[in-house]
């Protein structure tokens, strides 16, 4: 049988549809989040993979960015809050960019008269072990495929785990 269309990996093609349906049926997450970032190899370039889990280890959201700065952190938190609602507290390591992004989000909440919904910020290294351990699976996938060949492939694979 001859295939006339270029071969498209099913993960890249169908994962956005599966993710959309999964988000519609997604269970609510806990109000205490653990957030961390790590780096992965995509097309020979190192990119930052932001990921948040709740206190029970359930994945909240992820974001793949070129840089690790306050703008990327704010984009990640905005995406996570948009999909899962506002968190009561966020735990992360000693990253200044994370603290600045959450401070700016709290300022926005304060200015929009949502003072009772401010996010508590905890910078405790050892409370973040849940999300640090979840990076093991991601690093294992990266080593298996020797880095991803495209941003779409990386996002599609990382959305599932």
**Number of other residues whose CB lies within 10 A of the CB of residue 161:** 11
Task: Identify the residue whose tokens are 């009772």.
Answer: 116
More confident residue, 62 or 5: 62
- pLDDT for 2 equals 47
Looking at per-residue pLDDT, the higher value among 63 and 11 belongs to: 63
- Exposure letters 141-154 (e unless 16+ CB within 10 A, then b): bbeeeebbeeebbb
Whole-angstrom distance, CA of residue 53 vs CA of residue 128 = 10
DSSP H helices, 37-95, are 70-84
CATH class of 29-159: alpha beta
Assign 153 a pLDDT band (cuts: 50, 70, 90). confident
pLDDT band at 161 (very low <50, low <70, confident <90, very high): low
pLDDT for res 103: 93
Domain range annotation of the chain = 29-159
Tokens 């960015």 belong to 65
What is the 8-class DSSP label of residue 128?
G
Helical ranges in the chain per DSSP H: 10-24, 70-84, 96-111, 129-144, 151-159
- Over the chain, what is the mean pLDDT? 79
What CA–CA distances, in Å, run from 140 to 30, 40, 52, 80, 143? 27, 11, 18, 24, 5
pLDDT digits (tens, 9 = 90+) for 67-107: 889 999 999 999 999 888 888 999 888 888 888 999 999 99
- What is the arithmetic mean of pLDDT over 58-65? 87
Mean pLDDT across 24-44: 81
């Amino acid at each position: 049988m001859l295939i006339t269309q270029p071969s498209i990996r099913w993960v890249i093609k169908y994962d956005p549809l599966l993710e959309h349906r999964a988000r519609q049926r997604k269970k609510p997450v806990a109000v205490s989040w653990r957030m961390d970032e790590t780096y992965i190899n995509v097309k020979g370039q190192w990119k930052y993979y932001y990921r948040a889990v709740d206190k029970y280890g359930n994945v909240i959201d992820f974001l793949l960015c070129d840089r690790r700065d306050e703008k990327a952190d704010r984009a990640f938190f905005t995406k996570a809050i948009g999909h899962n609602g506002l968190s009561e507290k966020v735990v992360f390591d000693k990253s200044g960019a994370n603290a600045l992004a959450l401070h700016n989000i709290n300022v926005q909440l304060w200015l929009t008269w949502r003072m009772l919904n401010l996010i508590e910020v905890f910078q405790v290294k050892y409370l973040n072990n849940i999300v640090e351990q979840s990076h093991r699976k991601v690093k294992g996938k990266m080593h298996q495929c020797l880095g991803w060949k495209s941003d779409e492939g990386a996002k599609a694979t990382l959305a599932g785990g």
